Amino acid sequence: MKKIKTRDRILQTSLALFNSVGEPNVTTLLISDEMDISPGNLYYHFKSKGDIVEELFDQYEHEMLDLLSVPNDADITLDQQGFFLHLLFETVARYRFLYQDLVNVLSRYQPLQVRFKRIKRKKTFAFRTICESFQRQGIMEIGTKELDPLCEQLTLTSCYWSAFDTLSHLENRETVDPGRGVYQMMHLVLPYLTPDFQEEARLMSRDYL
């Protein structure tokens, strides 16, 4: 029963507020109010609001790059892909504030732009790696011309699904269900799977609804 350090509580509270009302709408005063500490105290731990954002981004980047380091010679199963997608959506959802107002955030914290693009590229690359593994195993069959658009589409969906989804539930912005996103992603891949695996994937996808 150790008590959490103030510095960490600031990060936690900020993340929760950012996600639920949008980063630009969260003032340093709101954060300190929510935590029942003084604004001065907050500034003792972080020299600016931007520093909080950047540290949260550090966390996101770290978790993401970890997750995206898919070995490019492994035989990936459909189950493993499902699990991967699940983790991916959970991570994006946990930091969804970044995507909800992406242009705004990136324009105010310029150093993040390059790192953001890198993550995007890594995502696309990870999807390509998975697809190639599926192809080698005969799980997937897809034309060269179709592979690129598919991977782009998967990347787009993984980035924006949670933002898109909140459009339907603007009243309750505290929680996000990642399952629906996974379901959607599987249905993108499905048409390119070989018949047997199509059926397997269809069954699997249902569990995520």
Which residues bind to DNA, rule: CB under 7 A?
5-7, 26-29, 36-41, 43-45, 47-50
Nearest to 60 by CA among 118, 4, 110: 118
Task: Indicate the burial class of 138 (C-beta count within 10 angstroms; 0-12, 13-18, 19 or more).
Answer: exposed
**Contact call for residues 75 and 137 (beta carbons, < 8 A):** yes
In the complex, the smallest distance separating the C-beta of residue 163 from DNA, rounded to whole angstroms, is 21
Instruction: Give residue 67's identity as a one-letter amino acid code.
Output: L
In the complex, the smallest distance separating the C-beta of residue 44 from DNA, rounded to whole angstroms, is 3
In the stretch 90-129, what mask flags binding to a second copy with x, by CB under 8 A? ----------xxxxx-xxx----x--xx--x---------
Which residue from 59, 80, 153, 200 is in contact with a second copy, where contact means CB under 8 A? 153
Nearer to a second copy (CB atom), residue 2 or residue 168: 168
Interacting residues of 1 by C-beta distance below 8 A, sequence separation 6+: none
Q: Kindly state whether residue 191 participates in binding a second copy, applying the rule CB under 8 A.
A: yes
In the complex, the smallest distance separating the C-beta of residue 101 from DNA, rounded to whole angstroms, is 13
# residues contacting a second copy (CB under 8 A):
42
DSSP state of 2: P
Residues in 14-53 at the binding interface with a second copy, rule: CB under 8 A: 21-22, 24-25
Residue with tokens 């731990």: 45
Answer positive or negative: Cα dihedral of 153, 68, 95, 97: negative
Instruction: Give residue 152's identity as a one-letter amino acid code.
Output: E
Query: What tokens appear for 41 in the block?
Result: 């105290």
Q: Which does 21 bind (CB under 5 to 8 A by kind): DNA, a second copy, none?
A: a second copy
**Contact call for residues 15 and 54 (beta carbons, < 8 A):** no
Residues forming contacts to a second copy in the complex (CB under 8 A) are 21-22, 24-25, 100-104, 106-108, 113, 116-117, 120, 145-146, 149-150, 152-153, 155-157, 159-161, 163-164, 166-168, 170, 183-184, 187-188, 190-192, 202
